[in-house]
Amino acid sequence: MITIVAGTNRKNSNSLKVAQYYRQQLQEKGYASDVLSLEDLPADFIATDLYGQRSEAFKPIQNRVTATTKFIFIIPEYNGSFPGVLKTFIDSCTFPDSFMGKKAALVGISTGKYGNIRGVEHFTGVCHYLKLHILPLKIHIPQIQFELDENLQFHHPETVKFTDQQIEEFITF
């Protein structure tokens, strides 16, 4: 199972739009995937799902993570790195079986001009600690607010080229 994680809990985020784009592209290539938006996390999961605790509300999310064999993380830039809610989500998941030995692709996005290069590298360090295998081709999409058209499709040829290349490599990874 492929799970695409929209790495913020911000409502109607660009991360969710990019996650939906990746889902559509995988579907067109004949691969099923599921989008996990962090905006769907329980409102109190910081109090109920850390340090070995597990709430009834988080169990379905944990089950989805456990069943996943491949992840695509869409990682927006927050203060020069990745969102704290993404790290808290990772910390909430059962260790080590949620991520160990599984595979992931990383996509950085930002409204600035670097596409969250630093945040993706920070998150790569977390993934390595979890023994999550990372696809070498990491995508960085700058100025995301100008990248998606009204149909949530990328319209810049280079972005389409590199996202398609990443998806093709991810399928065989």
19-34 pLDDT, tens digit each: 999 999 999 999 999 9
Residue-range domain boundaries for the chain: 2-172
pLDDT in tens, 103-149: 999 999 999 999 999 999 999 999 999 999 999 999 999 999 999 98
| CATH number of the 2-172 domain | 3.40.50.360
pLDDT at residue 14, as a whole number? 97
Residues contacting residue 129 through CB under 8 Å, at least 6 positions apart? none
- pLDDT value at position 112? 94
| Rounded percentage of the chain residues whose pLDDT exceeds 70 | 100
Question: Is it the case that residue 53 has pLDDT exceeding 90?
Answer: no
Q: Judge whether 120 and 106 are in contact, CB under 8 Å.
A: yes
Do residues 38 and 92 lie in contact, with contact meaning Cβ atoms separated by under 8 Å? Answer: no
Q: Which helix (H) or strand (E) holds 78?
A: none
pLDDT at site 171: 97
β-strand partners of 3? 34, 71
Q: Which pLDDT score, from 0 to 100, does residue 156 have?
A: 93
d(CA 139, CA 22): 12
User: In the chain, which ranges are E strands?
Assistant: 2-6, 33-37, 70-76, 103-109, 133-134, 139-141
User: Average pLDDT of 53-64?
Assistant: 93
Beta-bridged to residue 6, according to DSSP, are 37, 74
pLDDT on residue 113: 92
pTM of the complete model: 0.97
**CA–CA distance from 90 to each of 46, 94, 162 (Å)?**
12, 8, 27
Whole-angstrom Cα distance, residue 170 to residue 71?
Answer: 10
